[in-house]
Amino acid sequence: MSSWVLVTGGATRLGREIALAFAKAGWSLICHYRNSEGEARKLCDEALALGVQAHPLYAELESEQSCDELFKRTLELSGENLCSIVNNASLFIADNAHDFQESQALQQLNVNLMAPMRFGKWFYEAVANRQASKASKLPQLPEKHSPSIIHILDQKVFNLNPDYFSYTVSKLALERIVALQAQSFGPHIRVNAVSPGLIYQSGPQNLDNFKIASKANLMGAPIEPAQVAQSALFLAQNPCITGNTIKVDNGQHLVPSARDIMFVADKLSSK
């Protein structure tokens, strides 16, 4: 019986890399999507071809009810074998402390922070119940993988600048939640995070700007999405790690920038 992973926003970009890394390692997959249904179905077909089970599931993560439906369906499909949740889905909207729109700030807090908080609460309950019920039966079968949650952060939380204000606030809180959930959920669930640097073109960024920005780190090189995904898989499969964050950013968090790298990349090229 294989372990199952729920990857939120798993259909495209980093979520797709993470989902495929788990599937290649033999994990069955729930690929959550909102708009990218076609990509989610294609990814699940690829995972099935690898010999694991895979299901695409829709949810609007701004809504508690939709999160609840996603989680309940995930438990039904994975049975007693949901062993990891990767909170990858996120909203990334440009704003600052002077001009943020209340509704957009709340959207980002809901998707980037509240959804991972909800899944944590429900996953803890499910794992604690199943472990209690297994403990009452003999012989006891050990779980293949120790249950864990992995939050996807952003190097921004270790390298502050005032751009993308609401997004950064949501990720700062998520970074603190790693320790709080690890303390709350042990010994049933481990909680860790991966903190990537700039990996993909986002928002209004053009390709030329991205090419410069993606090398503005200590290694002078773009970050491989597959390496970020492998780090998430490592955390899911190492039963001795909880309360930790792995920074997979080529050292970008040690390169201070007064503004988001997108806004200074053009100046870097003219130096």
Ligand X SMILES: NC(=O)c1ccc[n+]([C@@H]2O[C@H](COP(=O)([O-])OP(=O)(O)OC[C@H]3O[C@@H](n4cnc5c(N)ncnc54)[C@H](OP(=O)(O)O)[C@@H]3O)[C@@H](O)[C@H]2O)c1
Residue 265 within binding range of ligand X, rule CB under 6 A: no
Residue 35 within binding range of ligand X, rule CB under 6 A: yes
Helix axes 13-24, 225-237, angle to 10 degrees: 50
Q: Is the dihedral of CA 154, 160, 165, 169 positive or negative?
A: positive
Residue 61 within binding range of ligand X, rule CB under 6 A: yes
- 32 contacts 70 by C-beta, under 8 angstroms: yes
- Report the nearest approach of ligand X to the CB of residue 114 (Å): 11
Residue 232 within binding range of ligand X, rule CB under 6 A: no
Residue 36 within binding range of ligand X, rule CB under 6 A: yes
How many residues make up the chain in this entry?
271
By beta carbon distance, the residue nearest ligand X is 9
Residue 69 within binding range of ligand X, rule CB under 6 A: no
Strands 148-152, 190-196: pairing is parallel
* Residue 127 or 163 having the CB closest to ligand X: 163
Which one of 6-14, 23-31, 157-165, 178-186 is the stretch in contact with ligand X (CB under 6 A)?
Answer: 6-14
Enumerate the H helices of the chain as residue ranges: 13-24, 37-49, 64-78, 102-109, 115-135, 165-185, 207-213, 225-237, 261-269
In the numeric block, the tokens 């249950």 are attached to 147
Residue 13 within binding range of ligand X, rule CB under 6 A: yes
3-state SS record for 148-165? EEEEECCHHHHCCCCCCH
Structure tokens, 32: 């959550």
- 44 contacts 19 by C-beta, under 8 angstroms: no
- Report the nearest approach of ligand X to the CB of residue 199 (Å): 4
Single-letter code of the amino acid located at 214: S
- Report the nearest approach of ligand X to the CB of residue 151 (Å): 8
Measured distance CA(28)–CA(188) in Å, rounded:
21
* Residue 106 or 128 having the CB closest to ligand X: 106
Residue numbers 122-161 binding ligand X by CB under 6 A: 152, 154
Residue 15 within binding range of ligand X, rule CB under 6 A: yes
- Report the nearest approach of ligand X to the CB of residue 125 (Å): 22
* Residue 91 or 241 having the CB closest to ligand X: 91
Residue numbers 78-117 binding ligand X by CB under 6 A: 88-92, 111
Which one of 75-83, 134-142, 175-183, 195-203 is the stretch in contact with ligand X (CB under 6 A)?
Answer: 195-203
Site residues (CB under 6 A) for ligand X?
9, 11-15, 33-36, 59-62, 88-92, 111, 152, 154, 196, 198-200, 202
